[in-house]
Amino acid sequence: MSAEKKQVPSVWTRPQRRVREQPALSQEQIVSEALALLDDAGIEALSMRKLGTRLNAGATSLYTHVANKDELIELVVDLVYGEIEVPGGAGEWRDAAAVSAYSLRAMVLRHPWVASVLGQVGLAGLGPNVMRMAERMQALFEGAGLASEEAGLAISALTSYVVGMAVSEGAYLSLIARSGMTEREFVKSVVPEGEAAALGDPEKAREEKFDYGLQLVLDGLSGRISPRR
């Protein structure tokens, strides 16, 4: 007898529970408050008990909508992926890819905890917002002339660069936030006297650094795309 096939536990694959009566809290309320808690205090602070306290509800009442914390994180990850803009239409692929990259970077910087959970919780890729973003990115690169499989590789290369840079940037900004200083004050405190003035606007410098690497990635993709168009 063959062994029973195991499934990866996920909020997106398990059968939805039947609710006998109207719950006091909706799934949207629970996920929204979980996002606020994560943004306020980070992934280490998230627990069903703390979330229940913030919602003035017992932790057990949350289980009407989510089986455990991992399912809750899947739902919150999908929520923040809904913030990402991927332009559609017949515009220039490179411009659309750059807009998507900047939008993903902005999302990770708004929610720095997200980088620590990507790929670690269930099947987050099955969430409707994540799937919608992936489909639009796939259409973007296929429309530029890449075959389906290579379009997937292009998406992976682009998003890996963006997430990697944004995680590093987010960690740096978290350090500054803990110091109680502004970014400009922080830079002046760690750079030798006389050199800080020459650095200019640190926020602009971060963006220029990100854009330099992004253009290199897009240059590489352009070399794969242009000969085929």
Give the pLDDT confidence score for residue 199 in this predicted structure.
Answer: 73
Distances in Å between the alpha carbon of 31 and those of 51, 53, 83, 108?
Answer: 10, 14, 15, 18
**pLDDT higher at 196 or 46:** 46
CA atoms within 13 A on the CB side of 164: 10
Counting every residue written for the chain, the total comes to 229
Which amino acid makes up residue 164? G
What CATH superfamily is the domain 81-228?
Answer: Tetracycline Repressor, domain 2 (1.10.357.10)
Given a cut of 70, whether residue 179 has pLDDT beyond it is yes
What class is the 27-80 domain?
Answer: mainly alpha
Give the pLDDT confidence score for residue 134 in this predicted structure.
Answer: 92
Give the pLDDT confidence score for residue 1 in this predicted structure.
Answer: 47
Give the global pTM. 0.84
Task: List the end-to-end C-alpha distance of the chain, in Å, as a whole number.
Answer: 52
Section 73-95 average pLDDT:
91
- Domain regions of the chain by residue span: 27-80, 81-228
Give yes or no for a contact between 193 and 138, defined as CB atoms under 8 angstroms apart. Answer: no
Res. 144 pLDDT band, cuts 50 70 90: very high
Which amino acid makes up residue 157? A
DSSP symbol at 92: -
Given a cut of 70, whether residue 110 has pLDDT beyond it is yes
